[in-house]
Amino acid sequence: MLNLLLIGKDTKHNTFNESFYHVEKELSQKTNLAIWRDSGHIQDILKYIPFTPDFILIQNDIGGSLKPVVYGLSDISIPAGIFIEDVHRFIEKRREYINSNNIQYIFSNYKRIFKKIYPEFKNRLCWFPHHINSEIFKDYGLPKEIDMLLMGAVNGGYPLREKIVKQFKKDPRFVYHPHPGYRKYMEDEKAKIFVTERYAMEINRAKIFFTCGTRRKFPVMKYFEVPGCRTLLLAPQLKDLDDLGFIPGEHYVSITKHDFYEKAEYYLEHEDERNRIADQGYQFVQTQHTTNKRVEQLIAKIEEILGKQ
């Protein structure tokens, strides 16, 4: 069993990326895992770890600053990798951090945009795409009472979402729920805001769910969450998704700013086709893109790295 040290913030009850909390839980079941939450020099941190790690994993780009910051990684022989969630943030700070600590393994959620922003690190990329916790994102068997649903941020970073909301905002068949804000939430808020099970259940109530990959064309988590709830996803086709095996017309419906209205009307009218694609997307995500599956791939990659040293 691998001895892993994971250094990062606690993302439990985080409206934006609670999925990393589920990665931690899976790693704790599949490896000998130690977790550290604070900044510091790695040699000082290691004094408090009850074993010598085989590998060090760092997640420090969730929230408004690049923290925790771990120094001295280039002074030890233990290999280290860093997770990147928002590749477009902290670009120069992260570049300096990777170089100064000689970090050789970068686990980014996004592939093409990472290579565009950090071409000098393209050979260090270990692609770590998004995933779903299948205990939360699943078919709850709820009545499909919402014809068309859109949830999440709608601003200049999501131009297609803006266009969709503008098109359908007066349509009684359309429901829009704003993002609850990028923050920690309290346990007693879970019944009031769309997070965890309540978020997944709302997706499950919809016949059709719209999203987009931002103006930067990221395969955001909704590309995985929506099919994972057995709801038909209407969203733009992205090359990263193609590489992951997502097939338009089989796992989701590809849309553009020119045809989203017509495709929504078509799939609302054609229930059999809508259900066929939703069912296939559900089976695909639930077998290929769960947190359990992704963590198994992560462990296999780390074992491969260690085997090469």
Chain CA centroid to CA 71, Å: 27
How much is the pLDDT for 294?
Answer: 98
Residue 204's SS3 state is: helix
Rounded to whole angstroms, how far apart are CA atoms 259 and 241?
Answer: 20
Residue among 121, 309, 110 at smallest CA distance from 220: 110
Give the CATH architecture of domain 3-131+290-308.
Answer: 3-Layer(aba) Sandwich (3.40)
List 151's β-bridge partners, or say none. 177
Residues 230, 204: contact at Cβ < 8 Å? yes
Tokens of 130: 């998004």
Q: What are phi and psi of 132, to 5 degrees?
A: -125, 145
**Pairing label, strands 3-8, 55-59:** parallel
pLDDT in tens, the chain (309 residues): 999 999 999 888 777 778 899 999 999 999 999 999 999 999 999 999 999 999 999 999 887 888 999 999 999 999 999 999 889 999 999 999 999 999 999 999 999 999 999 999 999 999 999 999 999 999 999 999 999 999 999 999 999 999 999 999 999 999 999 988 777 787 878 878 899 999 999 999 999 999 999 999 999 999 999 999 999 999 999 999 999 999 999 999 999 999 999 999 999 999 999 999 999 999 999 999 999 999 999 999 999 999 976
> Looking at the domain that runs over 146-288, which CATH code has it been given?
3.40.50.2000
How much is the pLDDT for 154?
Answer: 95
H/E element holding 4? Answer: strand 3-8
* Entry field: residues in the chain: 309
How much is the pLDDT for 166?
Answer: 98
Every domain of the chain with CATH number 3.40.50.2000 lies at 3-131+290-308, 146-288
List 233's β-bridge partners, or say none. 209
Rounded to whole angstroms, how far apart are CA atoms 254 and 223?
Answer: 11
Tokens of 42: 């790695």
Tokens of 247: 């097939």
pTM higher than 0.85, yes or no?
yes
